[in-house]
Structure 1
Amino acid sequence: ANLPYGKRIMSEAEAKKLGADFAKNLKENYQGSYFSLITTDSSPFNQKDFKFSKTNFTNGGLKVTLIQGMVG
């Protein structure tokens, strides 16, 4: 959870690193697995390493993207 809703609890650089590390971990350890993720930055995910769909909406006042797909 990222409470309180609508407020950041880490810097943008920390959030980008967390997203990149998460995507790398999925790619290296979970090939063929399905995943869902709500994020404000979908840039760590690309169509080469992940097959996914995106749905944009707002959550707690933030513009977010639901990413659903498969690793690999």
Structure 2
Amino acid sequence: MPAIVGAFKVNNVGTSSVVHIGDVITISPVSEVKTFAGAGSFNTGDGINVYNRNSNTNTYDGNVVDQPITGNL
């Protein structure tokens, strides 16, 4: 069934973003990122107390490719 879409505004689209309007079978954005952070790095909120002693972040990754990109782009 066709989609009926009213007015919309796109402020910003990142390099790996997908803007989709209407019908679709598959959306397949191509992007990959690996984030390393120490203990308590992504905590948010008011009044957070984090006590970390001798915190260590293991950044060793033996994989050359985590998930290969295949198919037609």
Same fold (TM > 0.5): no
Q: Name the TM tier (shorter chain).
A: under 0.3
Bigger helix fraction: 1
Q: Which has the higher contact order (CA 8 A, sep 6+)?
A: 1
Q: Which has the larger radius of gyration?
A: 2
TM-score (norm: length of structure 2): 0.19
Q: TM-score, normalised by structure 1?
A: 0.19
Instruction: Give the number of the structure whose residues are more often strand, by fraction.
Output: 1
